[in-house]
Amino acid sequence: MASLLVVDDERNIRVHLARFLENCGHSVKTAETARQALDLLMEDPRFDLVLTDYKLAEVNGLELLRRIKHQTPEIPVILMTAYGTIENAVEAMKAGAYDYLTKPFSLEQIEHVVSRALEVQKLRAENRLLRDTLEERPLLDSRSSVMQRLLETARQAARSEATILLTGESGTGKNVLARQIHQWSPRSNHPFIVVNCTTLSEHLLESELFGHVRGAFTGAVKNKPGRLEAAHGGTVFLDEIGDLSPALQTKFLRFVQEQSFERVGGIQTIRVNTRLIAASNRDLAAEVAARHFREDLFYRLNVITLRVPPLRERREDILPLAQRMLQIEGLRNHRTGLHFSTEVEAILHSYSWPGNVRELRNAIERAVVLAGGDTILPDHLPDNLFRQSAETAVPSGPRNIEDMERELIIRVLAESATLEDAAQTLGINVSTLWRKRKRYKIE
């Protein structure tokens, strides 16, 4: 069901259109003037579509269209007029109208145009969501004070030229944070180049980083620039830098110190202006102590160190992340409208997530694929989530969904600063949470 706004100063047309669109299954509000329409949009900017007459008192439909596009540009607007001209139609489309209808028109025409506009609007919303997903910015939206402090430090560091070292367990989102630091930096309009130090052999990784000249090795049939050159003016992100071999550590140290190097097999010194962000899930200080990592390179990298906390240290983020991923995976797998059962929410919140955000994403994707209906049930989750719950649970006899919900509410309340925050985390309104506290006798 879509939410529509019909604007027309003729009452019969306004009422007739609203009744027809309601019979088509939509929720419809009406306005007689442009001012009333703008007030309604200010009160509720979530309208899916506006249909407005071109000829209105005081402010005409074209000016209303311009104001709507300024106030809420994502809402499609259809103009209706009894004085249709090519010039008016062109002007309306330039101002951002979705379509332009000339009176008299049939109700079938209206239904067709509205359906098409709503379908386009739905596709645009899905594209925005998928674009956000690809950029993975939502993964950095956090309610955790620890994560918020980390992001603030990262934002400050991004404005500098300092080398940044990201540490933390696998799957915590270090690559996502690195990309966001680049976006926050003055280099954001220049390349962001990723090099994973674990995926290539030493020889191939050296060529990948520094490039090579023709004839440097078998198969080197032409000169090839490396990733460090490709990142000139921008940022290079070295993921799992702790896996660099001793020989590559030595060569890379020179780049960090001087921003210069030679291609494999070459003699010409190449100088670049590249910002470095490195990441490792290892304790590089311990690697230095064990003589597995160069001490001088470590100190060159360790200018600003940011530790990305594991998911178990920011439990207030688990359910919002899971909800976001459910929406994303639902779109990807053509399964929109899914939701978690209360028992599943309790399981997700209590699990320790040793694989962090990556493991959570995999679990949600599995559940989306296996769910038969609109509700994600415990049977759709990976078995290991239940094994850990069984190992850590205190025997207390059979547990039902109400027990799980009560435990979840107690836990979320304990971790939230206000009742409003707790309600938002649980995905319910404050009055519902208040009633549940009273029902379960939670102080």
Give 14-31 pLDDT, tens digit per residue. 999 999 999 998 999 999
pLDDT over threshold 90, residue 307? yes
Evaluate whether 232 touches 274 at the Cβ level (below 8 Å): yes
Based on the domain organization, do 153 and 123 belong to the same domain?
A: no
Q: Which residues pair with 304 in a beta bridge?
A: 164
Q: Tell me what pLDDT residue 397 has.
A: 44
Distance of CA 378 to the CA centre of its chain: 25
What pLDDT score was predicted for residue 398?
45
Structural domain that includes position 263: 140-309
Task: Judge whether 205 and 240 are in contact, CB under 8 Å.
Answer: no
- Please state whether beta strands 375-376 and 269-271 pair in parallel, antiparallel, or not at all (unpaired): unpaired
Q: 149 with 250, same domain?
A: yes
Task: Indicate the residue among 85, 107, 134 that finishes a domain.
Answer: 134
Q: Which of 48, 99, 100 is nearest to 72 (CA)?
A: 48
* pLDDT confidence tier of residue 92, bands split at 50, 70 and 90: confident
Residue 395: asked if its preceding bond is cis (omega within 30°), the reply is no
68 and 156 part of one domain: no
Q: What angle do CA 240, 245, 251 make, to 5 degrees?
A: 100
pLDDT tens for each residue of 345-399: 999 998 999 999 889 999 999 999 999 899 999 999 998 887 655 444 444 444 4
Q: What is the pLDDT of residues 393-431, one digit of tens each?
A: 444 444 456 677 777 888 778 777 777 777 777 767 777
User: Which residue, 81, 111, 134, sits at the end of a domain?
Assistant: 134
**Cis ω on the peptide bond leading into residue 309 (within 30° of 0)?**
no
Helices 430-440, 401-415: inter-axial angle, 10-degree rounding = 120
- Does residue 181 carry a pLDDT above 60? yes
pLDDT of residue 394: 42
CA neighbours closer than 13 Å in the CB half-sphere of residue 317: 23
Report the CATH number at residue 19. Answer: 3.40.50.2300
**332 with 227, same domain?**
no
Length in residues, the chain? 443
CA–CA separation, 102 and 100 (whole Å): 7
Query: Is 264's pLDDT higher than 60?
Result: yes
199 and 153, same domain (yes or no): yes
Domain end call among 134, 166, 197: 134
Q: Write out the H or E segment, with its range, that includes residue 350.
A: helix 342-350
- For residues 250 and 286, membership in a common domain is answered with yes
Domain shared by 191 and 231, yes or no: yes
pTM attached to this predicted model: 0.60
Residues 267 and 203 in one domain: yes
Say if residue 252 is in the same domain as residue 179.
yes
Instruction: Report the domain count for the chain.
Output: 3
pLDDT for position 395: 43
The predicted pLDDT at position 404 comes to 72
Mark whether 199 and 255 lie in a shared domain.
yes
Instruction: Give the C-alpha separation, 410 to 412, whole Å.
Output: 6
Average pLDDT over residues 73-91: 81
Task: Check whether residue 149 and residue 126 sit in a common domain.
Answer: no
